[in-house]
Amino acid sequence: MIEDVDFRGDPRSLRAQNFKKPERDSYVISPIDGLDKLSKGFSNCTGLIATGYDKNTNENINISFLSHQKPNYFLGLEANRNRFASDLEQTLMKLKKRCSEGTIDAAIVGGNYAKPKDAKDYLEYQKHYLASIKFLSDETVKVLGFEPIVMTGPKTSMEGENIIYDNKNRRVYIFRPVVGDGSTESFAPNAINDQEKRW
């Protein structure tokens, strides 16, 4: 079974299923569980995947969560930023408490570093991408004590991508329209200034 982490879903319905989703066009954070996860339509949105072995079982069973958030929302009003930070920190803390020490991994996905030919407000996309990576990295470090890996750099066009997380095998599948250039390389958030030159 695959869990749909539906960014465009109805907030009330998602909250009834233990997702964190305050309002439309904001963010969604899945429950922590052992299901595979799917989220569609990452255009300028970013996501965070965190996973680890559940210490309450006798086997190395993975549990995980996936978030999908819109930078315009959590990088805008301070109240929105604080709400997202609080929900993300709570989820990271819950995962940390449930997982065996040393088994947790975290990865950032999505994002857009649009070029002038693709978007009139391309500078805003670029600024939001850089700020999103810093925000997600800082929140992860604050709770887990390490930087997440950025699985791929940002898209450089306005097309979307879909993310599937295979929970059992701890694999991330990223479906995007264009691959094979510097924007698809993974990197550590602290290397973002050097990596930006490749986009």
pLDDT digits (tens, 9 = 90+) for 14-69: 999 999 999 999 999 999 999 999 999 999 999 999 999 999 886 779 999 999 99
Task: List average pLDDT for each run of 10 residues in the chain, which is 199 residues long.
Answer: 96 98 97 98 96 87 97 95 98 97 96 86 94 98 98 89 96 88 89 92
Give how far Cα 12 sits from Cα of 7, 20, 24, Å: 13, 10, 10
| pTM of the predicted structure, to 2 decimals | 0.95
Contact 114, 129 (CB under 8 A): no
Scan for tokens 């990295």, then name that residue.
Answer: 137
- State the DSSP code for 112: B
What pLDDT does residue 117 have? 82
Q: Which residues pair with 188 in a beta bridge?
A: none
Nearest-CA neighbor of 75 among 9, 20, 11, 139? 139
Largest CA distance in the chain: 54
Which CATH code of 3.40.630, 1.10.10, 3.30.1330, 3.30.300 fits the domain covering 2-196?
3.30.1330
CB atoms within 10 A of CB 186: 12
